[in-house]
Amino acid sequence: MRTIPLGKSGLQVPVIAVGCMRLNRLSVAEARDFLHGALEQGANFFDHADIYGGGECETLFAKALEMTPSVREKLILQSKCGIRKGMFDFSKEHILSSVDGILKRLQTDYLDVLLLHRPDTLMEPEEVAEAFDILYASGKVRHFGVSNQDPYTIQLLKKYVRQPIVANQLQLSLTNATMITQSMNMNMLDDMAVDRDNGVLNFCRLHDITIQPWSPFQFGFFEGVFLGNEKFATLNAKVSELAQKYGVSETTIVMAWLLRHPAKFQPVTGTMNKTRLAECIKASEVTLSREDWYALYLAAGHRLP
């Protein structure tokens, strides 16, 4: 699979990340089959979080792959921490204890990447910096990032944190594309001109922070997928047309739309189906024309000023 740099980490990572949020829906045997299938296709970047399945997803991941040093060296592991029941918590104590739990469940000595999971408005950036320094110096975490954070929150972190912020995981899909639509409708008197993202797309590009789109097939906030959904008839008709044109699946076309953007996104999949994952990975071989990219954008209900 094609690779891209992950921010300023020095890591070359697959353009498709394998999300493990739903891994605990599988048996050990099913998980083993799925994960080995991913690795066979060059998909060795796995995205976790300590809250996924209450930690069960990380535990099952390590059990299914029978984690050993030789297996570990083939993987790029990313996990997230900071979400607790009814709150967010970026305290030094919570970050450090969360990472210890993650490492124990994944049966590894280190994470390649740790993301702060959503913004904590009670964050003390000095505490985060202390936690990151301890984790980095101990070798427990090699690189750091965030999720769902706007430019000013990232700048506040960067004022204190010495390690580069290498990734920002953000919701982005054909139907949830405010970070793209706003900039193209700037200074217009319509809803698409409303700035909901504080210019995060160009901010991340300017600061070499890789955007990792999550829920690339979802509309709303986990309301469902738009592929095959009658609510999005125009979009599905265009996706189907382009799938035939490029000789790939509709899933591949949707993922190729994200990969066509020059920001060099690294979408995070959510599927636990080997066939569908292969269709996502196939998108790394497809380059949509400018005309087809915009045709999909318009079919999704977005407008050009």
Signed CA dihedral, 172, 180, 205, 87: sign only: negative
| Structure-block tokens of residue 225 | 């997928």
Element (H, E) at 19: strand 17-19
Nearest CA among 113, 108, 92 for reference residue 169 = 113
Distance CA 237, CA 240 (A): 5
List 52, 110, 136, 160, catalytic entry: 52
Question: % helix / strand / coil in the chain, to the nearest 5?
Answer: 45, 15, 35
Signed CA dihedral, 94, 65, 144, 110: sign only: positive
Tokens 């998980």 correspond to what residue?
31
Q: How far is CA 12 from CA 3, 112, 132, 181, 210, in A?
A: 6, 12, 22, 29, 12
Active site residue 136: no
Note the maximum CA span of the chain.
57
Cβ–Cβ under 8 Å, residues 17 and 45: yes
Q: Find the DSSP H helices in 49-150.
A: 56-65, 69-72, 92-106, 125-138
Strands 224-225 and 141-147: unpaired
Known catalytic residues?
A: 52
